[in-house]
Amino acid sequence: MIARTYLLLAYEFFKTGLFSIGGGLATVPFLREMAVKYPWFSPGMLSDMIAVSESTPGPIGVNMATYAGFTAGYSAGGLAAGILGGVIATLSLAAPSIAIILMLSGAYQKFKSNPLVENAFYAVRPAVTGMIAAVAATLIESALLTGAFTPAVSELMGLVSVKAVILFAALAVAMNIKPLKKLHPIVFIVFAGVCGAVFMM
């Protein structure tokens, strides 16, 4: 069973690395599909995975692959299996990018001015933006519209997590105030984590 889990991790994350054009957030639709398809992690855990991945050093896609691989391996065979699962998922995610860069680095310099290549990249940009926007909409829905922290005032208010919306608005405003713009993003992440631990229980 563990060997099968490792093979599935390698396959799924290689596929994710091959087609998640646009950076780490572009991996989220693939992870959402994995959450439905496999018992490695639940769709509800996806927001937590993103929060952890964004809050830890390194690219979000790689962090999420490591987290998901560890979770899958751990559920199949314990701590050692989880560590190996994280390594397999991470390497499988990175392998396509490394291979493509090595193959195309020389050719790109030669063909980058080709109209067909320019048009292809021009068409890919809005598609990637749309994928990331879809992910953002899903995250907003899961983070702000859960209704988990507040009683239903009305049918509409019952769908909204008032405390989460207030925190979101406060941080959005704070990050646009001139003196606070100079603060490192980790300050806002730590502040949000403390608020979540203290006020959203």
Cα(168)–Cα(31) distance, integer angstroms? 24
Please give the single-letter amino acid code of residue 82.
G
Cα(14)–Cα(99) distance, integer angstroms? 11
Q: What is the mean pLDDT of the chain?
A: 80
Cα(49)–Cα(46) distance, integer angstroms? 5
Q: Give the per-residue pLDDT at 131.
A: 75
Residue 119 pLDDT grade (very low, low, confident, very high; cuts 50, 70, 90)? confident
Q: Give the per-residue pLDDT at 101.
A: 82
Q: Give the per-residue pLDDT at 146.
A: 56
The pTM of this model reads 0.67
Percent of the chain with pLDDT over 90: 15
